[in-house]
Structure 1
Amino acid sequence: MKSLRFILITIFMIISAPAWSADGLISIKSPYSVNQTMQKLETAVKENGLKVFIKVNHTAGAKSVGQTLRPTSVLIFGNPKGGTPFMRCAQTIGIDMPLKALVWKDQKANVWLSYNDPAYIAKRHQTENCPAVEKISTVLNRISRTATSR
């Protein structure tokens, strides 16, 4: 029953908002600016019981070395309660943890929120049947949809 609920939630989320996926990267279009999307993302992360570890502003980094980059920031966040069971399936998953989300503006001025698909991470580490994948996927879907929905 849990699997069916997960599948239905995933299908609903895919058809209800513009999104795309490539090589394990899930990207969801945001109607907000990069700053607004990042603020909404941070709030959603905290509301879901996760801790924000750091925000990396790649645009500021580029500027510090005399280069330009469209708005691009990464939020790194997590919770050992969810991450530890994932890493127990394969300790090498630790290289992909904590979780992170990228908020960026493309060349057409569209804003996107992107994150690594936990199922892709599990496959990368040969542990596709890890029970933690469904839980982490559900939380990431909820957070990303909250951050990109009106």
Structure 2
Amino acid sequence: MKKLIVLLSLSMSLIANDIIVKESSCNVDTTVDNIKNIVRAKGLSVFAIINHHGNAKSVDMKLNESKMVIFGNPKLGTALMQQDMKVGLDLPIRILVYMDTDSKVKMAYRDGSWLENRHILNAPQKIKKMNMAMDKITTKAGTCIKD
């Protein structure tokens, strides 16, 4: 029952229109490595990688490959939190990389307007910049050459 509730919650959150899902031509680990490398090359900080698949396995549960990359720009995050401290609940930024039920690797992340719509922010240029960066990061991270 617990497993069903978690799956339903995840499904409902992915239906929301503020979540962007893109396909990767790489496997999960390569996509995650690509994201880390791109983010670091941009001077951003990678704070953590959460291995949801590994965590499920550690409690004898099955879950498709799934890793969360948590990263950010402390300068941008601080500027947003100076406007509304509660933005810190939704930062740092995250990209979920997972294998879907059709064995396709996907990357999911929230559109930056989600922050602006749920917090007291006046930062349209910062949000636009964040959205453009997330699009570029995920597009590049999901590109692998297939033989």
| Shift in Å, 1:140 | 1.4
- Code of the aligned partner of 2:143: S
Tell me, yes or no, if structure 1 residue 43 matches structure 2 residue 46: no
Aligned to 2:5: none
| Shift in Å, 1:149 | 2.3
Task: Say if 1:93 and 1:121, in contact at 8 Å, map to a contact too.
Answer: yes
Task: Say if 1:56 and 1:73, in contact at 8 Å, map to a contact too.
Answer: yes
After superposition, the Cα gap between the structure-2 partners of 1:21 and 1:141, relative to the gap in structure 1 and judged at 3 Å, is farther
Aligned to 2:61: 67
User: Residue 99 of structure 1 is aligned with which of 64, 80, 93?
Assistant: 93
Task: Say if 1:32 and 1:148, in contact at 8 Å, map to a contact too.
Answer: yes
Tell me, yes or no, if structure 1 residue 135 matches structure 2 residue 124: no
Measure the CA separation in 1 of the matches of 2:83 and 2:125. Answer: 8
Task: Say if 2:83 and 2:120, in contact at 8 Å, map to a contact too.
Answer: no
Aligned to 1:80: 74
- Code of the aligned partner of 1:76: I
Give me the TM-score of the superposition, normalised by structure 1: 0.80
Q: Deviations over 1:65-103 (max 9, x none)?
A: 011100010011112112112222322111000111100
Aligned to 1:118: 112
Gaps of 5+ in 1: 1-19
Measure the CA separation in 1 of the matches of 2:127 and 2:70. Answer: 18
CA RMSD, Structure 1 to Structure 2 (Å):
1.8
Gaps of 5+ in 2: 1-13
Task: Say if 1:59 and 1:68, in contact at 8 Å, map to a contact too.
Answer: yes
Structure 1 stretches (4+) deviating beyond 6 angstroms? Answer: none
- Code of the aligned partner of 2:20: I
Q: How many pairs are equivalent? A: 131
Give me the TM-score of the superposition, normalised by structure 2: 0.81
Q: Which aligned pairs between 1:13-52 and structure 2 lie closer than 5 A?
A: 22-52=16-46
Measure the CA separation in 2 of the matches of 1:128 and 1:36. Answer: 36
